[in-house]
């Protein structure tokens, strides 16, 4: 087993391996030639253990601890005070709680209700354009488009710039030509260009604020003072990546599941009221954020494993979402599954702030698919991303057969 060898994830998440790992206790992962920093880490695969660690941020920190110089939510240590402790998702209470509270109104049910019709209209336009092409790249032409348009709207980014941001985000997240903890000239250049864009955008928000989320972040206060310039910049990077990456992968892999399970597609076509439960099953099934790391802050035990301060511990959400003790027949794609307490959005204080928006986007796109498409036919195998941090696709060639007179 080497969970830091990205070739293991080059064709999607390796569920058979994690089926084996769930059969034992919390596992210590020895370092290999691929492991950043030459350090081992703990691997948590069972639902109950993942939930316990995610729900106890005082012991399992998202920032760091135990005297460690770095931290964060990746297997590799990120610098404290630059990423760890500064990025919202790599921050602990109480600042994390207050930072999150500042942004929450922008993603409240009331705020999202005002977006519902706009998102559906955008989804309909995107799907109709793809159908008109017939054969398309579902990932590029459909799955990426709605989340990208939505996050640009929410952040106050000009729509004409959205594909530049997507290209930069894709490059910085991609590991096609590098291992964990490594960078290349290509990734460094993309990160620099994205930072320069973010710096200019944030300056405009300071001078001329709007009603978008970035303006709220720039002009809001946390702990009695404004966010630091680094916090603002890192928030911009985080929201572009999170807003464009996870939902598009969930939708694309969800459509792949419907292709692989045609009875589920036909059931949805016959009864669109199944859509809410189908979306929850797609979220469980795809689990597009496979893991997050935590750092142990004090001596503790987890399912019999003795953990020490500074230990890295990885919580494998994708494995927990296939735990047979919680999900009967976990490898069966069941769009009627109830209950479905999946952990696709995490759990505890770091439960995904954008979860309601992601569900709304998935609902809009799938509604458009059910309305405008009668059949989906792959024209080539999908191309997966080579990473253990984001289970997703880069390309998904399909033929879309439009719904027409007399077609179900």
CB 337 within 8 A of CB 277: yes
Q: What pLDDT is stored for residue 178 in this prediction? A: 85
Q: Is residue 407 part of a domain?
A: no
pLDDT score of 405 more than 80: no
Distance CA 289, CA 271 (A): 29
What's the pLDDT at 408?
Answer: 37
User: Per-residue DSSP letters for 66-127?
Assistant: TT-SEE-SSSS-EEBTTTBTTSGGG--TTHHHHHHHHHGGGGSHHHHHHHHHHHHHHHHHHH
Nearest in space to 282 (alpha carbons), one of 306, 305, 255: 255
Classify residue 153: in a domain, yes or no. yes
Could you tell me the two tokens for 399? 């033929």
Is residue 357 within 8 A of residue 107, CB to CB? The reply is yes
How far apart, in whole angstroms, are the C-alpha atoms of residue 38 and residue 11? 25
Residue 406 included in any domain: no
Question: 241 falls in which pLDDT band (50, 70, 90)?
Answer: confident
Measured CA to CA, the distance from residue 385 to residue 387 in angstroms comes to 6
- pTM of the full predicted structure? 0.95
Coil/strand/helix, residue 12: strand
Alpha helices in 287-340 (DSSP H): 317-320
pLDDT at position 354, please? 93
DSSP helix/strand/coil, 27:
strand
Question: For residue 42, what are its two tokens?
Answer: 């703990």
Domain assignment present for residue 136? The answer is yes
Predicted pLDDT of residue 406: 38
Q: Residue 13 sits in a domain of what CATH number?
A: 1.10.630.10
Residue 1 lies in a domain: no
**What is the average per-residue pLDDT within 96-119?**
93
Report the share of the chain in percent with pLDDT over 70. Answer: 99
Q: Calculate mean pLDDT across residues 19-33.
A: 95
Q: Do the domain assignments include residue 408?
A: no
Judge contact between 302 and 52, C-beta under 8 A. yes
pLDDT tens track for 254-289? 999 999 999 999 999 999 999 999 999 999 999 999
Strands (E), 118-184: 135-137
Strand partners, 42: 28, 313
Split into its structural domains, the chain has a count of 1
Task: Give which of 54, 84, 59 is closest to 69, Cα–Cα.
Answer: 84
- CB atoms near residue 374 (< 10 Å): 15
Confirm whether 76 is domain-assigned: yes
**Per-residue pLDDT tens over the stretch 364-400:** 999 999 999 999 999 999 999 999 999 999 999 999 9
Question: Considering the domain boundaries, does residue 322 fall inside one?
Answer: yes
Output the CA angle 307-313-318, nearest 5 degrees.
Answer: 135
Show the domain range for 334.
6-401
Average pLDDT on 219-226 reads 94
Q: For the chain, report the end-to-end CA distance as a whole number of angstroms.
A: 47
**Which residues, including other chains, have CB under 8 Å from residue 57's CB and lie 6 or more apart?**
92, 93, 294, 348, 349, 350
CA 21/CA 257 separation, integer angstroms: 24
């Amino acid at each position: 087993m080497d969970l830091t060898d990205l070739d293991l994830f080059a064709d999607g998440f390796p569920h058979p391996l994690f089926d084996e790992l769930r059969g034992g206790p919390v596992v210590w992962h020895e370092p290999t030639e691929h492991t950043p920093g030459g350090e081992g880490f703990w691997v948590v695969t069972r639902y109950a253990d993942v939930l316990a660690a995610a729900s106890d941020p005082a012991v399992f920190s998202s920032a760091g601890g135990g005297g460690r110089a770095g931290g964060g939510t990746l297997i590799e240590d990120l610098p404290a005070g630059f990423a760890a402790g500064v990025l919202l998702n790599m921050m602990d209470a109480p600042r994390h709680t207050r930072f999150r509270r500042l942004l929450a109104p922008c993603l409240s049910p009331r705020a999202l209700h005002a977006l519902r019709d706009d998102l559906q209209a955008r989804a309909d336009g995107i799907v109709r354009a793809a159908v008109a092409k017939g054969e398309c790249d579902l990932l590029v032409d459909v799955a990426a488009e709605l989340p990208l348009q939505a996050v640009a709207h929410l952040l106050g980014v000009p729509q004409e710039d959205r594909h530049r941001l997507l290209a930069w985000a894709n490059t910085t997240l991609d590991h096609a030509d590098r291992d964990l903890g490594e960078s290349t000239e290509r990734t460094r250049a993309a990160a620099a260009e994205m930072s320069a864009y973010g710096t200019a955008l944030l300056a405009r928000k300071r001078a001329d604020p709007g009603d978008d989320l970035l303006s709220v972040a720039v002009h809001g206060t946390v702990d009695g003072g404004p966010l630091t310039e680094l916090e603002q910049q890192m928030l911009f990077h985080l929201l572009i990546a999170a807003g464009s990456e996870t939902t598009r992968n969930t939708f694309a892999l969800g459509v792949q599941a419907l292709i692989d399970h045609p009875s589920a597609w036909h059931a949805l076509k016959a009864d669109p009221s199944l859509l809410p439960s189908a979306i929850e099953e797609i979220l469980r099934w795809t689990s597009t954020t496979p893991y997050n790391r935590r750092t142990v802050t004090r001596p503790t035990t987890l399912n019999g494993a003795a953990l020490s301060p500074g230990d890295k511990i990885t919580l494998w959400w994708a494995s927990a979402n296939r735990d047979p003790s919680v999900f009967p027949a976990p490898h069966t794609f069941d769009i009627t599954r109830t209950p479905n307490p999946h952990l696709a959005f995490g759990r505890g204080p770091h439960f995904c702030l954008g979860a309601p928006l992601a569900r709304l986007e998935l609902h809009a796109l799938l509604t458009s698919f059910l309305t405008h498409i009668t059949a989906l036919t792959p024209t080539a195998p999908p191309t997966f991303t080579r990473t253990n941090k984001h289970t997703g696709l880069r390309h998904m060639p399909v033929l879309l057969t439009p719904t027409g007179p007399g077609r179900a």
